[in-house]
Amino acid sequence: MLIEFYPKHEGPVEVPIGNEKYLFEPDESGRRVADVWREDHIICFLNVGHLYRLVPGQDIPPLVREAMEREGLAVPDKVTKPADKVTIPSDAVTNTPPSMKRPEIIAALKGKGIPFKATAKNDELRGLLAGAS
């Protein structure tokens, strides 16, 4: 599944999730994309909707579809254009409810040995934790 990193950025962008590293490189259209094969990692990226989105023309993966349906969200068959954002609330797929405070999230990441940046936003940290479950 191709995921796009869409903020303006020069050069490739490498993003680690769990034991995987995804390299977002320009495609023929100039978008920075990476092929993300693990559905839980796809969900991690989509949890950070201000940075990542599905590349148009792809089917919605089953795990992503299920999480969206549980949340009562409309699920398209395919992403047809970049505006068709597929965003999943982080608490739909993780054990980190929105009420979980930052120190608790950080403690859970440290407890699982998951590396993270101290400057990361809470949703990004929740996404990392989701990728480890």
Give pLDDT tens digits for 53-95. 888 888 887 877 787 777 777 777 777 655 445 555 544 444 4
Question: How much is the pLDDT for 81?
Answer: 59
How far is residue 124 from each of residues 6, 18, 47, measured CA to CA in Å? 16, 13, 7
Phi (first) and psi of residue 131, to 5 degrees: -70, -20
Would you say 44 and 24 are in contact if contact means Cβ atoms under 8 Å apart? no
Give whichever of 4-13, 23-32, 46-55, 93-102 has the largest mean pLDDT: 23-32
Owning domain of residue 92: 2-132
DSSP state of 30: S
pTM for this one? 0.57
Per the structure, the count of domains in the chain is 1
Count CB-CB contacts under 10 A for residue 93: 26
Question: How much is the pLDDT for 25?
Answer: 93
Mean pLDDT of 93-100: 52
